[in-house]
């Protein structure tokens, strides 16, 4: 049995889906996250999604795949996505993978002003 080290909470408000991940996003947890979040996206059909990474302690390439997959799904459905509050280490991973050039990333100060 594979134990997931990552969970998520969500809230839908005025067609914006807010998803907060917590824990570790690795190859073990990404499969379950992908299934659950995809089902949520398909059920709610949000215009936009905020993916809050403030409580993510570790992310590997499976986490990057998770992010890009949800971004692609949302685009197919006519929606947009923003990444919010990643840790400095996660920001670096997003930069190295080129994701910051594709998906907007908001830091703590920018999130508070919105």
* pLDDT over 70 at 5, yes or no: no
Nearest to residue 65, comparing CAs of 30, 103, 95? 30
pLDDT digits (tens, 9 = 90+) for 6-51: 789 999 999 999 999 999 999 889 999 999 999 999 999 999 999 9
Q: Could you give phi then psi for residue 14, rounded to 5 degrees?
A: 50, 50
Question: Per the structure block, which two tokens stand in for 68?
Answer: 């890009």
Q: Which CATH number fits domain 7-112: 3.30.750.24, 3.30.420.40, 3.90.660.10, 3.40.50.1820?
A: 3.30.750.24
Nearest to residue 52, comparing CAs of 93, 97, 17, 94? 17
The predicted pLDDT at position 112 comes to 47
**56/76 Cα distance (integer angstroms):** 26
Number of Cβ within 10 Å of residue 92's Cβ equals 12
The predicted pLDDT at position 1 comes to 35
């Amino acid at each position: 049995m594979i134990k997931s080290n990552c969970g998520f909470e969500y809230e839908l408000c005025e067609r914006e889906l807010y998803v907060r991940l917590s824990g570790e996003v690795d190859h073990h947890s990404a499969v379950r996250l992908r299934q659950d979040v995809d089902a949520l996206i398909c059920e709610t059909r949000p215009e936009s999604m905020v993916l809050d990474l403030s409580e993510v302690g570790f992310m590997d390439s499976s986490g990057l795949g998770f992010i890009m997959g949800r971004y692609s799904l949302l685009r197919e459905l006519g929606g947009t996505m923003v990444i919010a509050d990643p840790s400095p280490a996660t920001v670096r991973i997003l930069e190295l993978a080129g994701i910051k050039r594709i998906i907007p990333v908001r830091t703590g100060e920018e999130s508070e002003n919105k």
